[in-house]
Structures are given as structure tokens and as C-alpha cells.
Amino acid sequence: AQKITQTQPGMFVQEKEAVTLDCTYDTSDPSYGLFWYKQPSSGEMIFLIYQGSYDQQNATEGRYSLNFQKARKSANLVISASQLGDSAMYFCAMSYNDYKLSFGAGTTVTVRA
Amino acid sequence: NAGVMQNPRHLVRRRGQEARLRCSPMKGHSHVYWYRQLPEEGLKFMVYLQKENIIDESGMPKERFSAEFPKEGPSILRIQQVVRGDSAAYFCASSTTGSALAKNIQYFGAGTRLSVL
């Protein structure tokens, strides 16, 4: 069974600093995708970044980077130069059986001015 | 995630009524997924559809829930005889492909918040 674990229920970060959100996963499938989504207080789910299990390099998208450590089964999200608008819930997800996404419980990030 | 349109954004139903949730995928996307989010939890997969076909409904309750994605028009998630436990946020996502091997990014709509009184 696929399982996603996010151990940090809430985090505070100072504006302009970096923050790392932890995500570990468990799967026996060799092929899978890892995703991070942002859910602001308005409720929509916004795609941030993707990492494929066979990708050799860590994914980056602007201020977002994914620290992929395959042997440790971790896919941590790093947000650099935090902004007030980054305050939201962040979900780590993994695709399994090709198309289903399994989500973690989420981490709430609050950016302080 | 621009482009996946869900309506209504909020829906209030009394116990026993029917709820119909609509989802129009992004332009060019033929794969639609429905997920349910209970308070303080992550999203849970319900069903995966392509045009006129249900591919996987393994996450959907066996009774009262149904989904369709007709040749023309939006995908519909239908909940009959709603109960309080159906209160949740229902999200629709769409993608261009159904395979994780092809970087299957699922883009989500803003969700429908269903409240059952």
C-alpha cells in the first residue's frame, strides 16, 4: 500500500527566509511520481512541483525545489525567500497505479512579516 | 490550475436530497478525477473517468455515489440521499494523460464544499 507521511502539522517562517517541508513515502512500485500542492485559505489546490522516480536531478520551479532522496524515500519541499502569500497548507502526494494520487495530511505554513 | 471549472463552489443540502457536482476539465484534457477532502485531512481518490468511460471507481462508496463524463458537457459527481457524513470538499482534477510515467500532472479545480444539514 502507498503511504505519504508529513510529520509537521504546522510551521512558522520569517519572511524572506527559506523553509523545508518534510515528506516521506512508502511504495514498492519502481515507477511513481511525487507532487507538491499548495492549498491557500481560499481552498483551491495549486500544483507546485513534480518529481519522477527515475529523474536523476532534483526538480526546481522558481522558488520551489524538491529535495528527492530516493534511498530514504523522502521528497522534501524547499521554499526559498518566503513571502506572505506563501502562507497556506502544503500537501505532498504520490501517484500510484499510474494515475491515483495519495495525499499526506498536509503541513500548514505561516509566514511572519 | 487555471482552467478546471467546478460548480457550484458551495452547496447546501438537507439529508435525503440529491447533490450534483459539476466539473469542466481544462481545455485539451480528456482525463478527469474526483477526490474528496474531509476536514483536516488530505484528499482521497474517488473515481477516474475518460470521456464516456469510468476507468476506476475503486475509491467511491458503493451506494448513493455515481459519476459520469459524457461525450458532451461536464463531468458530474452525483450523490443521492445525502447524509451528514457526506459533508466534505469535493475536488475535480484533469490531465492530458493517465500515466504517471508520462509526468501526469493533475490540475485541480477550486472544489465544491458540500454541507449536509
Other C-beta atoms closer than 10 Å to the C-beta of B7 total: 15
For B49, which residue in chain A has the nearest alpha carbon?
A99
pLDDT of the residue at B22:
98
The DSSP bridge pattern shows strands B10-13 and B112-116 to be parallel
Residue B100, pLDDT above cutoff 60: no
Inspect the interface and report whether the beta carbons of A44 and B111 lie closer than 8 Å: yes
Task: List the single best residue of A4, A98, A102, A107 to mutate versus B (max B Cβ within 10 A).
Answer: A98
Nearest to A99 by CA among B17, B63, B100, B15: B100
- pLDDT tens per residue, chain A (113 residues)? 678 999 998 999 999 999 999 999 999 888 889 999 999 998 889 999 999 999 989 999 999 999 999 999 999 999 999 999 999 999 999 987 778 899 999 999 999 99
Q: How far is CA A17 from each of CA A20, A83, A91, rounded to the nearest angstrom?
A: 10, 9, 20
pLDDT of the residue at B1:
45
Set of chain A residues whose Cβ sits within 8 Å of the Cβ of B111: 43-45
**How far apart are alpha carbons A48 and B101 in whole angstroms?**
18
**How far apart are alpha carbons A55 and A59 in whole angstroms?**
8
pLDDT of the residue at A99:
84
DSSP state, residue B25: P
Strand runs labelled E in chain B: 5-7, 10-13, 19-24, 31-37, 43-50, 53-56, 65-68, 75-79, 88-95, 107-108, 112-116
The minimum CA-CA distance between A33 and chain B, rounded to whole Å, is 6
pLDDT of the residue at A111:
97
Set of chain B residues whose Cβ sits within 8 Å of the Cβ of A106: 41-42
The minimum CA-CA distance between A51 and chain B, rounded to whole Å, is 8
User: What's the one-letter identity of residue A57?
Assistant: Q
Express each pLDDT in B14-72 by its tens digit. Answer: 999 999 999 999 998 999 999 999 987 889 999 999 988 999 999 999 999 999 999 98
More confident residue, B81 or B72: B81
What is the mean predicted confidence (pLDDT) over B92-105? Answer: 78
Q: Measure CB to CB from residue B111 to each of A37, A43, A98 and give the nearest one.
A: A43
Inspect the interface and report whether the beta carbons of A33 and B104 lie closer than 8 Å: yes
Inspect the interface and report whether the beta carbons of A99 and B99 lie closer than 8 Å: yes
Residue B101, pLDDT above cutoff 80: no
Inspect the interface and report whether the beta carbons of A103 and B43 lie closer than 8 Å: yes
